[in-house]
Amino acid sequence: MKKTQYLHVRETIPLIAPRLLKEKLPITEEAATTVIASREKLIGTLDGTEDRLVVMVGPCSIHQIESAFEYAERLKKLSDDVADRLFIIMRVYFEKPRTTVGWKGLINDPHLDDTFDIGTGLELARKLLLDINNLGLAAATELLEPVTPQYIADLITLTAIGARTTESPTHRQMASGLSMPVGYKNGTDGELQIAMDAMVAARSPHSFLGIDPDGNTCIVNTTGNPYGHLILRGGRSGSNFDAASVDAAIERLDSRGLSPRLMVDCSHANSNKDYRKQSIAWNAAVAQRAAGNRNIMGLMIESNLKPGSQDLSDPSNLEYGVSITDACIDWDETEKLIREAHAALS
C-alpha cells in the first residue's frame, strides 16, 4: 500500500522525558527560592504593590554557555548595586523565531552546525538556568512552542511571547497554563490589537493537546494566567516608545479592562534594528517613568559582553561574547545605562 503519511519526514528521534531531565538536573533550594521570590516581585509590579522598575537585559540569544554565565555573574553584581530601584532579570533566550531560515537557537542546534542535537540543547539550557538562578539572579526567556516549557519553565521568572507568535492560538493556550507572568509583544506592523487579544485569551481556561512530565501525549487543562502585560516593540509603522504612543497604549489597555502596566522593548523596531539606537528608547522611557508614569513597569534591552554581531559561517572561529543573532550593546554601555536609570529614578 502506498504511504499517505510522513512523506516529508526523514526520521524521528526520541527525547528524554521532562521528568527524567529534571531528575538528572534537579532544581536546587537556592534556585527555587530565586524563582519564587522573583515571580512575586514581578507580580507586584503588575498589580502596583511593587514600585521597582523591571529591567530585562541580556543577549539576543544564548550560544556560548561560558560567556552567558560570565555575563550573568557581572549582571548579578550590578543588580545588587541597584536593587533598591531596579529589579533586574537576565534575558536568557534559547529559541529563535526565524522569518525564513537561520540558526534556531541553543536548544535546537547547540553545536551550531545543523546537527540539531535537541537533547543536548535541552540539557545545556536547563543547566545554565540552574546556574543563573543559583546566583540569585532571575531569568527570562521566550517560549516558541508548548513542549520546551515542560523541561525548563520551573526555572523561569518571566516569559515573552514574540510579535510573530502572539496571534497564535497555540501560544495563547500555552500561556494560559504557564506559572509565571507573560509579556505579549505588539504585532510586527506595530498594531496592539493582537497582543491585547492574547492577554484576554490567556487569562481564560483552555484545554489543548500537550505532553505530560513523562513525555506522554495528553490533554492539558489550564486555569488561565492572570499575569499578562503588553510589550511595546515598535513595528513597520514606526517606533512606539514615545510618550504619546505609551499613553495611547495605556488608554487602549484600560478600555479593554486589561492591566495598563507595560514594558518597553528598546530593540527591534524601537531602535530601527540598530543596536546603537537602543539607548534612545531606553532614555525616553526612563524619563517618562521618572516624570511619574508608573504604568511603564519595565524595559527590555539586548546586551552582550561585546558590541555588535557576527556571522555564524565558521563556529570554530567565533569571537567570545559577541552575538550571532541580533546585534547587542556591550557590557560597558549596559552598565552605564542601568546606573543612569537608577540615578534618574531616585
pTM: 0.96
Which pLDDT does position 97 carry in this prediction?
A: 74
Q: For residues 117 and 190, give the distance between their C-alpha atoms in angstroms, rounded to a whole number.
A: 35
Residue appearing with cell numbers 537576565: 90
CA 138 vs CA 57, 134, 143: distances in Å: 11, 9, 16
pLDDT by 10s per residue, the chain, length 346 = 889 999 999 999 999 999 999 999 999 999 999 999 999 999 999 999 999 999 999 999 999 999 999 999 999 999 999 999 999 999 999 987 766 678 999 999 999 999 999 999 999 999 999 999 999 999 999 999 999 999 999 999 999 999 999 999 999 999 999 999 999 999 999 999 999 999 999 999 999 999 999 999 999 999 999 999 999 999 998 999 999 999 999 999 999 999 999 999 999 999 999 999 999 999 999 999 999 999 999 999 999 999 999 999 889 899 999 999 999 999 999 999 999 999 999 8
Q: What are phi and psi of 202, to 5 degrees?
A: -75, -20
Q: Could you tell me the domains of the chain?
A: 18-325 (3.20.20.70)
Amino acid at 17: A
Helix extents (H) in the chain? 18-24, 29-47, 65-81, 118-134, 149-152, 169-177, 193-202, 243-255, 278-290, 331-344
Nearest to 280 by CA among 224, 337, 326, 226: 337
Which pLDDT does position 100 carry in this prediction?
A: 61
